């Protein structure tokens, strides 16, 4: 019988013979309804779809959830797997239950606008890029759909550098709760990105040598990153020592899941600081390093950048070093202004 009941379910179930590509196993699936009339309609539609797929080569329709599951399975090795999962947890309620061939430009534009209202345009682009990646796989690799809608990302200002002055930072630091205050100070002392501060483990820290090493699978450029620890960073580590056996920074004895929280935003508001994100603490660190005279090649190594392009964004904040280099030619030229 192709329509039947199971003891462990209130709904009707369908059992249909296998079609090519299913490995010879019959399809058994819930109709999702306890109504026999609705279940029969579900059965009839499914039977027609499978006949068209087997005899006419018509592709079975797939839903967004099918694509998400396959994508996460195929990319489980990615360093950003957890970040993808977090973004998909937000995207899925927006697209859940939709057939892939129903996702159109209008739907994507609504998601684009909604994400931009929640956070920055740059952050919205990360969600859009993930959505585009899944749809491209569904079209070009899995052949589940014939085309994907055109998608445009926000134009980002890659030259944006938002750095705090010392006075601004300490004003913010005073307003932060203790765990975030320590994390923010550690960030501007080491230049580490948010995820590396948030999930920093004691196993990576060598206190006697005043050094730590972020594993390759935890660092953005895919290579292990060594960080020399200055006295400020050491003081923070000594203060946190013993609070948790595994993680350096915790809240209520657990790893810190989120940094840009209500407490962070409230502290910014109380400190009177606008247009500032957690990642800007890394900009602040790099800016202060340049102002302190750190040369470009050293800053590149300290920050773990593969390319000088990113480091050169900070050249303008400390032009004095270039001026000294330019002045060296005065001695070579031996030029004296006419009197």
Condensed to tens digits (0 to 9), the pLDDT of residues 310-322 reads: 787 776 666 555 5
Q: Which of 193, 198, 277, 283 is catalytic?
A: 193
Residues 6+ apart with CB under 8 A from 313: 159, 161
Residue 328, pLDDT > 80, answer: no
Tell me, what DSSP letter sits at residue 192?
Answer: -
Residue 166, pLDDT > 70, answer: yes
Are 191 and 206 in contact by the 8 Å Cβ rule? The answer is no
**Whether residue 318 is found in the same domain as residue 170:** yes
- Chain mean position to CA 174: 28
Residue 258 within a domain: yes
**Whether residue 234 is found in the same domain as residue 188:** yes
Q: What is the mean pLDDT of residues 260-269?
A: 94
**Whether residue 219 is found in the same domain as residue 309:** yes
Q: Which of 225, 277, 282, 283 is catalytic?
A: 282
Tokens of 91: 């995207």
β-sheet bridge partners, residue 30: 13
53-59: long-range contacts at Cβ-Cβ below 8 A with a sequence spacing of 24 or more?
53/19, 54/19, 54/20, 59/143, 59/144, 59/145
**Whether residue 176 is found in the same domain as residue 254:** yes
Whole-model pTM: value is: 0.57
Residue 255, pLDDT > 80, answer: yes
Are 190 and 236 in contact by the 8 Å Cβ rule? The answer is no
Q: Which of 63, 173, 220, 313 is catalytic?
A: 220
Condensed to tens digits (0 to 9), the pLDDT of residues 140-152 reads: 998 889 889 988 8
Q: How confident is the model at residue 30 (pLDDT cuts 50, 70, 90)?
A: confident
Condensed to tens digits (0 to 9), the pLDDT of residues 62-106 reads: 899 989 999 998 988 887 888 899 999 999 999 988 999 999 999
Looking at the chain, the whole-number percentage of residues with pLDDT higher than 90 is 50
Condensed to tens digits (0 to 9), the pLDDT of residues 227-243 reads: 999 999 999 999 999 99
Q: How confident is the model at residue 178 (pLDDT cuts 50, 70, 90)?
A: very high
Q: How confident is the model at residue 45 (pLDDT cuts 50, 70, 90)?
A: confident
Q: How confident is the model at residue 118 (pLDDT cuts 50, 70, 90)?
A: confident
**Whether residue 137 is found in the same domain as residue 187:** no
Q: Tell me, yes or no, if 262 is annotated catalytic.
A: no
pLDDT score recorded for residue 339: 46
The whole domain housing 15 covers 3-56
CA distance 278 to 260: 7
Are 287 and 317 in contact by the 8 Å Cβ rule? The answer is yes
Are 127 and 42 in contact by the 8 Å Cβ rule? The answer is no
pLDDT score recorded for residue 130: 95
CA distance 156 to 329: 39
Q: Tell me, yes or no, if 193 is annotated catalytic.
A: yes
Residues 6+ apart with CB under 8 A from 339: none
Residue 332 within a domain: no
Q: Which of 59, 70, 126, 305 is catalytic?
A: 305
Strands, DSSP E only, in 188-322? 205-206, 211-214, 225-228, 250-251, 254-255
Q: How confident is the model at residue 258 (pLDDT cuts 50, 70, 90)?
A: confident
Residue 335 within a domain: no
Residue 153 within a domain: no
Name the domain count of the chain.
3
Domain CATH code at residue 271: 1.10.443.10
Q: Tell me, yes or no, if 282 is annotated catalytic.
A: yes
Tokens of 14: 């369908």
**Higher pLDDT, residue 14 or 157:** 14
Q: Which of 126, 132, 279, 313 is catalytic?
A: 279
**Whether residue 276 is found in the same domain as residue 177:** yes
Q: Tokens 């270039």 appear where?
A: 322
pLDDT score recorded for residue 203: 96
Q: What is the mean pLDDT of residues 157-163?
A: 70
Q: Tell me, yes or no, if 279 is annotated catalytic.
A: yes
Q: How confident is the model at residue 292 (pLDDT cuts 50, 70, 90)?
A: confident
**Whether residue 16 is found in the same domain as residue 120:** no
């Amino acid at each position: 019988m192709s329509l039947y009941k199971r003891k462990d379910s209130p709904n009707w179930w369908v059992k249909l013979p296998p079609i090519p590509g299913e490995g010879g196993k019959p399809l058994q699936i819930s109709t999702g309804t306890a109504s026999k009339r609705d279940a029969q309609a579900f059965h009839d539609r499914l039977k027609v779809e499978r006949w068209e797929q087997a005899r006419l080569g018509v592709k079975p329709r797939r839903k967004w959830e099918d694509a998400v599951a396959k994508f996460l399975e195929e990319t489980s090795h990615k360093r950003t797997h957890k970040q993808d999962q977090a973004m998909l947890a937000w995207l899925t309620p927006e697209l859940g239950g939709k057939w892939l061939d129903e996702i159109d430009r209008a739907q994507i534009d609504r998601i684009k606008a909604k994400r931009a209202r929640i956070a920055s345009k740059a952050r919205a682009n990360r969600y859009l890029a993930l959505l585009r990646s899944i749809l491209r796989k569904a079209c070009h690799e899995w052949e589940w759909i014939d085309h994907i809608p055109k998608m445009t990302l926000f134009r980002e200002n890659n030259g944006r550098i938002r750095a705090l002055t010392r006075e601004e930072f300490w004003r913010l630091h005073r307003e932060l709760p203790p765990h975030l205050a320590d994390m923010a100070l550690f960030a501007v002392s080491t230049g580490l990105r948010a995820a590396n501060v948030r999930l920093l483990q004691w196993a990576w820290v060598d206190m006697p040598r005043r050094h730590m090493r972020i594993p390759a699978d935890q660092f953005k450029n895919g290579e292990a990153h060594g960080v020399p620890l200055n006295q400020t960073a050491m003081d923070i580590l000594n203060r946190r020592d013993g609070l948790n056996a595994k993680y350096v920074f915790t809240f209520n004895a657990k790893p810190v899941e989120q940094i840009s929280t209500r407490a962070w935003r409230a502290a910014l508001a109380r400190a009177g600081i606008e247009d500032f994100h957690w990642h800007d603490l890394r900009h602040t660190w790099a800016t202060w390093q340049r102002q302190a005279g750190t040369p470009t090649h050293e800053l590149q190594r300290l920050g773990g950048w593969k390319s000088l392009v990113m480091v050169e964004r900070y050249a303008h904040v400390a032009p004095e070093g270039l001026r000294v280099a330019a002045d060296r030619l005065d001695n070579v030229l031996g030029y004296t202004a006419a009197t």
